[in-house]
Structure 1
Amino acid sequence: MKNSDAFYHSMIREEQGKSPQTAYSPSSLNQLLKKHLANHWQALWLTGEIFELYRSPAGHQYFTLKDSSASIKCVLFRQKQSISLTKGQKITVLAQVTLYESRGDLQLNVIRTLDAGLGDWEAQLAQLKQKLEIQGLFRHDHKKPLPAWIDRLAIVTSSNGAALHDVLNIIQKHNPLIDIQVYPTQVQGPTAPGQIIEQLQLADTQAHDAILLTRGGGSKEDLWAFNDEFLARTIHQLETPIISAVGHDTDESITDFVADVSCITPSAAAQLLAGDFIQKRQQLKHQQQLLHFLGKTSIQNAQQRIDLNHQLLQQQHPKNTITRQKEVLAQKAKSLNQLVKNTVIHAQIQFEQTYKQLDRAIPNVKEKTSALEQKKQVLNWLGQQKLKSATHEFKQHVTQLNERSPMNILSHGYSITRSEDKKNIIDSKQVNTGETVETLFKSGRIRAKIIERLDD
């Protein structure tokens, strides 16, 4: 059934335009001609002189290429421009023959332009190199350094080229840990620069540590894709460090100048990227041993600090502080009692001495007795006052000791806040946001996390 339908449609196409009933429309004819040109004409080189030239606001250039007896219209899109065009300039173009359907005009879509007045490709390369150098694409301060250790590598090259085979063998031999992803592309021909640009831009978005752009040796024509201006500008704008290794050590391309690193051969680039894996493995082993030793030492030091802090905590614990203050209070109470006892004894001695003196002074016994009685009252009063004063002072000392007691302070609603290493916190700057602190109350304790620090 399908074969019969195809045969039917082919019969209709063969009859198209051969009778008034099967006449072409201008649109259908132009579509047919354009398709025919695309199927039967590949890109070709053409030399001529620019006769008419127009630059559109979008940057595309439309011009007429002519010789002494004929001319043809050409269009050079902005993305394909590599040299500046002027009226009367003789140029050589690589172009595809096509048809502008809306007007039925035959035209050339220009892929590449060369100044025919320069004489050869080397002069064209020198002109482009000078242009890009003036614009700063070769500046060393723009070049990105390669990472010291490469884990993920992108390789942009031909999937069946010898360069890829050599690079993979060298890296696998010297550093098998590198994760390699190949981005296949054409590496010669008129469509190669566009494919290389697409693959470079794709690789730049995949978080690779480095990109290797490479191909093996060849003629100047084979390597010409790596002298494309738009490829150079793409490399200049990449975020990932890029290595260019194009051709042999005598070959030179624009990508070598604009890349972050240039290697004379693909093998040299592979050696650079692989590095000395054995030496790095030994370094890692040494670092592992060093980290083990440092970790063990750090644990021992931490344990010593814990023991020291535990000892300091025991010394500064409120319970021990209260015990010491009780001992001081008891000593002061004992001293006060002894002082009172000594005062009473001294008063009694004075009283007995005075009584004896009075007894010896027999004259005016009544007067002496009265005076003695008064002195006795005075002494009793002084003793009572002294006792009251001593008792009051004793109570004041007791009150002061109680007021200064940490437990008394805690009973008034105050608290003691300590850091995780059990140090008392007296300044908000001793802690940071997110740390955990411990607060002691008269009864119990809590742990809290700092959500905000308000310094004075």
Structure 2
Amino acid sequence: MTSDPYLSVKALTKYIKKKFDADPHLRDVYVKGELSNVKIHTSGHIYFTLKDSSARLPAVMFAANARAVKFKPESGMTVLIRGDVSVYEASGQYQLYAQSMQPDGIGDYYLAFEQLKKKLYEEGFFNPSHKKQLPRFPDKIAVVTAPTGAAVRDIVITLNRRYPLAKVTIFPTLVQGEQATRSIVQSIQAANKTDFDVMIVGRGGGSIEDLWAFNEEAVARAIFDSRIPIISAVGHETDTTIADFVADLRAATPTAAAELAVPSRTELLDRVINQQSGMYRVITNLLEREKTALRKLTTSMPFAYPDRLYRPFIERVERATDSLQREVFQHLNRSRERHANMDRQLANRIPTQRIRQSQADISQLQKRLEQSALQSMNTNKMKLSSAMRTLDALSPLKLMERGYTIPYKDGDVVKSIQQVRAGDELKVTMQDGTVETTVTKTIPITKGEHTDG
């Protein structure tokens, strides 16, 4: 029986794969090369090509091993890989199955740090415009850190010493280890559900591995999304983490974070005392200036001689009063003359019709005269009202002091010579008494003549 000398492709490939798998030199290899064609699958597997100047080697790193890589593999990086070489039967190619990967020349932690720092910087996480202002006098303070250790003790002691009015709440948090990232994010999110005024996130010093949770992207995004201003306080002064760049304020140590979060009670008391002294000086100076101004006012001419202020107004009132009196008497005399002329004209015109017409004219003129006199009197009264409050110069006695008299006949005031005849007895009222006299003769005023009373 003759066997078939031809093998199937699958059988040959399996044979070659067994040879690769059986070779102890290919089970654990260390390879240095440059990454190219790097593809990170959604499942977490990393597919890439490892090359140098002379050869190319397909490679894959499965998700279980890829999660241990601290940095993001990118094309062009020179890396150190440990793994095994085998054949991928589907394509018939041999390839490198990477178990670990680290950058050549620098540590993988440093590379991961720089990659995330660059990524967040490009997204604007470090932009000062996103930094929130810390309140000057916080009432409630959240502290995200381990519940035991020097860090939480230093923070609480410093807060109570500097500003005992603030209420401090500790959020117990894992700050190192595999679960630290999730614990820090959960504590920050829990604090944001309450109305805290400021939050301190940090821990004490340690190695880069101990502090690495504060370099994780999830922690950075939780800090950035926090509505509460956050002060980062990770490690010692020489330690710098991604959380420090994203936080609203970085403190060199946990103690320094507590000092930045609250004002100093001593400094506040000193400031209050200084402001009190300053206010006292300002008020004292103001009172002295006002007292000086008051003394100047009380010794000034208007206050020293107040009568000189209203003296010119008294003179103006007297002049206005005299002028008004003259105008009123002149107007009355002119009115009397017009009435006398009308009476004489009527006496010469006997016909009834002309008398009626004249009476109508007289009535119209009298109305116009009364309206004019009333209007004039109202206008003059308005001018005289302000002066009459202080002066009584218009009383009848004042008029009599100037030589005017008032004649009476049978108790009625005599206004015209037509009211008296020779032999009538009159009483003439003067300033200081009454004179009884007998009329001997009446002399009418002729045209062109004028008297003042």
User: Rg bigger for which structure?
Assistant: 2
Higher helix share: 1
Give the TM-score, by structure 2 length: 0.48
Give the TM-score, by structure 1 length: 0.48
